[in-house]
Amino acid sequence: MATAAPDGRTLLETALKHERLVTATLLVVIPLACWTWIALMARDMYGSMQGSSAWMMTATWDGPHLVLLWAMWAVMMTAMMLPSAAPLVLLYAGALRTRGDARTGRKLYAIGAGYVVVWALFSVVVTVLQRVLSSALVLTPMMEATPMAGAAVLAVGGLYQLTPLKSACLRVCRSPLSYLLQHWRPGATGAFQLGVHHGAYCVGCCWALMLLLFAGGVMNLVVIVALTVWVLVEKFAPFGEQTARVTGVALLASAIWMAAR
């Protein structure tokens, strides 16, 4: 007979309900909150710039402003990339359920945290890059690259789309079940490591695409949404690997066109 929880449900029913809540938090609630913040910032930036993006108007980029810039990138990367980890999270949750694991929620949060931490570290890199580009006057106050700098970014993105490293990382991102079978680690610490390692492959797959934000406008909501859809197509669509190569050629052609204008 199944053991009953204090509220009358069996412990299995309670665990499954908790698992669904954690999964929904990771894959829906957190990304939705991040997208809301991005949308508010983008609207204000291309509007009065007296609201949530007012801090960007600073003339002195001190520590607090750099932290805010990093937070902007980290939130943006979470919004764009965490939903793409859905197959990994769902498969991991299913594996824990099959094993009858009593700490499913903690381990799901751990694998999600590991994935997000990698993109938060990537956000440090692009924060520094943004400040370097701004100091070199190739990035406007609206965080858009000059035509030649934009062409260079498109060329980098296009070339990387055609490399073996891109293909190798994309292959891992498109095969979460194989990844879990080969890299399974026990415990919450092991779950965190799984998230970190898988996040590293995703950074290897998508870092050049994220740099395209500099070409199209870092806070341009249309560009952000387009890149998010682009990433999802590469990872989920049956023709995703072919799409990466096709878009690589398209980016190189766009770079040539932009440089020649």
pTM score, two decimals? 0.88
pLDDT of residue 10: 46
What count of other Cβ atoms lies within 10 Å of the Cβ of residue 143? Answer: 19
Q: How confident is the model at residue 138 (pLDDT cuts 50, 70, 90)?
A: confident
Query: What are the tens digits of pLDDT across the range 91-119?
Result: 998 888 887 766 788 899 999 999 999 99
Query: What are the tens digits of pLDDT across the range 72-96?
Result: 999 999 999 999 999 999 999 888 8
Q: Mean pLDDT over all residues of the chain?
A: 87
Contact in structure between 18 and 26 (CB atoms under 8 Å): no
4: which strand partners? 10
Q: Both tokens of residue 69?
A: 């810039």
Query: What are the tens digits of pLDDT across the range 159-168?
Result: 999 999 999 9
Dihedral sign computed on CA atoms, order 114, 116, 120, 122: positive
